[in-house]
A and B are shown apart, each in its own frame.
Chain A
Amino acid sequence: MSRHHRLASAAAVLCLAGLSTSAIADNGEVNVYTYRETKLVQPLFAAFTKETGIKVNVVSASSGLEQRMKAEGANSPADVLLTVDIGRIDEAVQAGVTQPIKSEVIDKIVPAQYRDPDGQWAGISMRARVIYASKDRVKQDSITYEELADPKWKGKICIRSGQHIYNNALFAAYVAKHGEAKAEEWLRGVKANLAQKPSGGDRETARDVAAGKCDLGIGNTYYWALMMNGDPDKKPWAEATRVILPTFADGGTHVNLSGVLLAKHAPNKANGIKLIEWLAGEQAQQMYADINYEYPVRSGVTLNPTIAGYGQLKADPMPIAKIARSRKAASTLVDKVGFDN
């Protein structure tokens, strides 16, 4: 009895799933594989559909999408891949599942530093990796990444795992700037300054600073804004801290990209390019700034007030592609110095 029920409901699921895929060949659609959470990109896609009449189909995952595209091969339904980090961008390009985005619009809007010279990917929004400093205990208003290894911060820094993609990208930028030997020395210095074993996420880092476990936390710009504006429980964590935009001694603040790539076998290539160009357009860029608390790649877009309150972002000029190539060295160094131990 109940088995029949279950069978029936399972069959219905399959039918539903079948319905959603059977229309793939239609011209009025674009299929997006995304590392960005659906809930975050859904408002953007809804606006895109409203404006263009092109339906957006989505599947989101945390890792492995390029492996799926590779296995799907020429029959892959994917048109566009969205990522949250330069690491994932790099992986997709390495896996050979992309094709150049040939678009004058993108070349014009996105600064050269934030797109691939060969056109394999383009950055669409940015976040900076910054300091959450205790309001009570930290007096200085500026700080360099290099300074984080200074013994004066001994026992005063909190950070999540050194292997997390955000830290991996920051450390890779350090390697790209100063070379492996210097980076190793720096990582050992930062490790010696940690108040506790790396764990938790960027929100917990802010919480630890607020609770007095440490004076400096390292986190992304939008987490702080989300705590400040989104969640009454977490607001005190943000309120006990302030954001300092750190810089490299001879450069600017480390930024990471959410990027967009065009699938090699995109069945709806024209719609895919339309979506990519739309994401770099004014409306989408404004939504990235307002809803997601990110920095737009397009100039002339008004920042969210909380983000603007951090001060003028002076992004480091190091090309993102060069940082991506140092990720492996950074990951290796983290293990070598026992950063997470």
Chain B
Amino acid sequence: MTAVRASHVYKVFGRNGKEVVQGLKAGKTRDELKRLGTAAVIDASFEVEKGESFVVMGLSGSGKSTLIRMINGLWAPTAGTVEVAGQDISRMSSGQLRKLRSDNIAMVFQHFALLPHRTVRENAAYALEIKQVSKTHRLERADHWLQVVGLGGWGDKYPGQLSGGMQQRVGLARALAAETDILLMDEAFSALDPLIRREMQDQLVELQSTLNKTIIFITHDLNEAMYLGDRIAVMRDGRIVQIGTAEDILTDPTDEYVASFVQDVDRTRVLTASSIMQRPTAVITDTAGPRMAIRMMEDVKTSGLLVTTRDRRLVGQISDRAAVNASREGAKDLRSVITTENVLTVRPETPMSELFAQSSSSPVPLAVVDEQDRLIGVVPRIALLNSMASVSPSTGELPITRLSDSDTGQQAEADEVVASRPTAGDPAGASAVGGASAVDYASDSAPEGVSGEGPNDIDDAGRPGAASPIGGTAPFVFTPPESAGASAFGGESPEAEPPTGPDAPAPTDEKGV
């Protein structure tokens, strides 16, 4: 269901608004029409679904603040229509408009816009005061929402006694207390310190997961846009130049402008497990026999398999050794040898920044599961690194053994195999390498396109090395997708790398702030 729909909206400041719109429609530029009036918003069309977080991003002067003010009718569009909850607001009387604002749309402001002469509690109750809710009830509601935003007990203070971050929490409580479906946030966190801003962003995301409001968020900070937005509209000089998910904009910018904009974005906060996960192929159902498992490992050239139930619910993993033992003991199925050891699961929406630590402590690819625990993909460590940047040959400290092509997997979808397990080397050492590399790549991350095809770059880099079989010094085994020949390459031993603890944090978290 559409909460807000804008179609071909223009806003021109100046007396000859209609003329300017005509001119713009006839193809003239904004600068040519400057003398007639300033076109702040040009031909903006978008729809925001109910429950969606829609971010409008652009530099100052790009028209984003004007755009948001047309949604609640503070500005009337010069041309075009804005519909809120199915009603065209340009046809409303000022009374209807006021009712719409108090019932449907709440707003959070850049500089908080609190009433300095009222207490925090009275400020939070302001929207309800306009709705003419009785005093005791509205103060009660205000206290509730202050509690929700983490300001319980501050109700009797005045806004001037609070820090900026706390004041904006009051602003947020005031907007939430209005209990509207739509929340407009105009550069709501831009005036805050970076650390506080980050905290507020996290809080908003958390609140949104329970409140499920339609949020329209204005920002000039792309990291913020990418972190908060289900979809993002990028504005430039009054026009919306691209609308898409964070990933669309990051991986497929429409023009140079958007591309240069996204250059510096902190990818680890934007990309999620789902955007870098690969299709799991080294997977077997738990009803299969050990022989089947061994054959499959041979086919897909791995030394371990993830095990699911028939309805693809992840139950654990088995190693080649366990499968061979089970086969020797004549086990009918794999259930007895499944282990959950080392199997870490993440959700598709987990941001990449949170995958590093987990990945570095796990020798097996991270399993991506949905709400029902169903396996929907895997994130091998190398895919994680590769998403940050192309891996250059000079930094190749990962001893990698490429085995062979794998187009013969038992599962029809098998086109790439990613599986790994610690072998001879001690797992901690292997993890240490992974951890260290994660740090290295993350901090070196070059702003190039994110490649979805994981290991290819390594393949292209083609570092020649002695072929080393499974169980050599290689802690990882994986097969790149379009691998042609059987040219295996391995590398120096993991010990060459200074060991960094497996819990080495991914430092990229702070980057975008």
The answer to whether A and B belong to the same complex is no
Residues of A within 8 A of B (CB): none
